[in-house]
Amino acid sequence: AGSFYCYGRDILAPADGTVAEICTGNPDSRITKNRTASCNARDIRGNYVLICHSADEYSLLAHLKPDSIQVSVGQSIKKGEKIAECGNSGNTSEPHLHFQVQLGKSFYSSPGLPIEFENIIVKKTPNYEKFDDRCLEEYSENYYPPYIGVGQMVRQGN
């Protein structure tokens, strides 16, 4: 997993909030030759952090690296604060961050909410084909507002 571009990269809090739930102790899933999931985790999300932003808005950050979560339940956090590192835990075939905003606390019964990103720069990842040889459809880097797609990097704008 360590040879993937994003593995071990810092995961930052997307907005101010309070840590509502964490799950840790799940191993990274093995990456098979044909990139199928080889999951030994007790939860499909693997290691995750759930943040409460308001009564009806939570964000989930999942598939985190084992032993990398740096926050605890009940802790107040600020946008941009490091909360963990990108991993490959849970039902996943390669390291990545699963990020979603949802209406309630329950992953299984809360509907997703739309996300508006502010001040981000979306660009093609240099040499992405070296990291992913599946020839997935790439997205233009000139959409406005920027949409995030396969093979793209996202960073905070100035």
Q: Give the tens place of pLDDT for each residue, 61-87.
A: 999 999 999 999 999 999 999 999 999
Tokens of 50: 């759930």
Q: For the residues 84-94, what does the mean pLDDT come to? A: 91
Closest CA to 80 of 111, 118, 115, 47: 118
Q: For the residues 44-48, what does the mean pLDDT come to? A: 95
Closest CA to 67 of 89, 43, 51, 40: 89
Considering the segment(s) 10-102 as one domain, its CATH architecture is Distorted Sandwich (2.70)
pLDDT higher than 80, residue 111? yes
Q: For the residues 130-150, what does the mean pLDDT come to? A: 62
Give the residue range(s) of CATH 2.70.70.10 domains in the chain: 10-102
pLDDT higher than 80, residue 1? no
Local structure of 86: helix, strand or coil: strand
Tokens of 125: 């990842």
Q: What's residue 143's pLDDT? A: 53
Distance, in Å, from the CA atom of 94 to the CA atom of 88, rounded to the nearest integer, reads 6
**At 107, which amino acid appears?**
F
Q: What's residue 6's pLDDT? A: 87
Distance, in Å, from the CA atom of 69 to the CA atom of 120, rounded to the nearest integer, reads 24
Q: What's residue 151's pLDDT? A: 73
pLDDT higher than 70, residue 29? yes
Q: What is the mean pLDDT of the chain?
A: 85
In sign, the C-alpha dihedral spanning 10, 11, 16, 18 is negative
What's the whole-model pTM score?
0.80
Cis peptide preceding 126, ω within 30 of 0: no
